Amino acid sequence: MSGMKIVSAFRHAWLAYKRYAWGKDELNSLSKKGSDWMGVGLTIVDSLDTLLIMGLNDEYKEARDWVVNSLKTDQTMSIQLFEITIRLLGGLLSAYHLSGDKALLNKASHVHILMHAWADCNHVIFDPAQIEFGDALFVCFGGSNPLPANKVVIKSRRAEFGQTNLAEVGSLQLEFRDLSRASGDSKYEKAAWKVSEYLRGLKKFDGLAPTTFDSSSAFFSEYAPITMGGMADSYYEYLLKQWLQTGQTIDWLKEDYISAYNGVKKHLLKQSDLGKHWFIGTMPSMKDTHSANDVMDHLTCFYPGNLALAYMSGLPAEMLKTAKDVVETCYIMYKQTPTKLSPESVSFQNRAGEPFGPNVHEPDFFVDFGSAYNIHRPEAVESLYYLYKATKDPKYKQWAWDIFEAFENVTKLDEGYAGVQNVMQADRKSITYLDKMETFYLAETLKYLYLLFSDDESLLPVDRWVFNTEAHPLPVFKN
């Protein structure tokens, strides 16, 4: 087990991107070309801090120069505010803090004009045609509702309002607070903070919130599911991390986080019948709170690490016990498939005669075909990183190494990496690959693996840095 092997894997991915997709958002590994969905060279920006952390100085200089000289604000596609905030703004700010390069801070302030989408708004809907492109894009709901538009077309300065979810509106605060602290302009932090305060005041169920909002209001939909997975996950993550980012000075963030944890224990945390694995299910809605279903997706695997971080930050020790229980299930989601790769989700429903995989002695895990894919998600290794930090138990390193080796054995191609369509295919020759190398494989998954296996275990200490949901480290403030 070696951090240098992680670096080698990163370089293999990076060189393929550089060869076939430089300046594009993503590498299509099978067709060996690049593709865009934001038009911002996303793999480059998302990887800046990973390059710095791994000491890949030549690659970093080339990437940094591209960002400073070639990253433009002329995108014509409709871009999700959440995605570009956590990836682009987070990536630029993190690289600025790690390098001290003010050109990256200037680029963050200039490129991320989305930050003006709801800064300093009161009750006015501005005409985008009247706004200068280099200054600001002021768009807000026509009232006291602070929720931002969920999409924007940068070139035309047009905000697009549509269905948004809890994670999207509850996971912008770390980045905008950091932008204000770094730039000296408080309006971004204030606007994002209004969103947090608004979410705090909405009706919840034992600290848990539905995933979506009613289409005709800014209130939660009572018919939306309640989950720690997709469309909700990073809202809970940012309750804790905002508290940490602000020097543990805003008590209600901590209190809401603890309340949500108690709600998880009461309603979502379950144990499988046969394997006795602890998992976190999903509640159908606030209208149907009697029983959570027996499905846990991989995105939920962020939560054990989040609980371990909470424990390391002085919150109750029982959180670490829950973290240990659930992270083991996350690891088993890898261990008990033929490819040793986790599917997107698993079900704990007992279906006689349908074992999870060959030679499995605890057939209480099942995979639906639509959830059988793997795209190098970071959540499991992220949690193993924090569990090791909290306990120093070497088994968490071993489990993470097992996952890394599965990525190397199954998803590594001659050029780059690719996700797989069905982790249940035992024969390597029969595996169907997905034609994409996700940017978060470089930004998150390999970064957490490197930090776990680095010789310098003091790198980015948790009391001085907080990672955004795209694994971009931002500094902790004293207030």
- Each as own residue / partner, the long-range contacts of residues 105-108 (CB below 8 Å, 24 or more positions apart, any chain) are 105/182, 105/183, 107/67, 107/68, 107/71, 108/179, 108/182
Can you read off the two tokens belonging to residue 125? 């809907």
233 in active site: yes
- Each as own residue / partner, the long-range contacts of residues 182-190 (CB below 8 Å, 24 or more positions apart, any chain) are 182/93, 182/96, 182/97, 182/105, 182/108, 183/105, 183/109, 187/119, 187/120, 188/115, 188/119, 190/119
Closest CA to 267 of 285, 254, 240, 255: 285
Which residue matches tokens 């960002």? 67
Q: Which of 344, 364, 438, 470 is catalytic?
A: 344
132 in active site: no
Can you read off the two tokens belonging to residue 377? 């998600």
Q: Which of 49, 168, 237, 379 is catalytic?
A: 379
Q: Which of 25, 101, 178, 233 is catalytic?
A: 233
469 is in an annotated binding site: yes
344 in active site: yes
CA torsion 472-475-476-479 (nearest 10°) is -120
How many Cα atoms occupy the beta-carbon half-sphere of 20 within 13 Å?
21
Closest CA to 188 of 113, 243, 264: 113
379 in active site: yes
Binding residues for Ca(2+): 469
Binding residues: 469
Catalytic residues: 83, 233, 344, 379
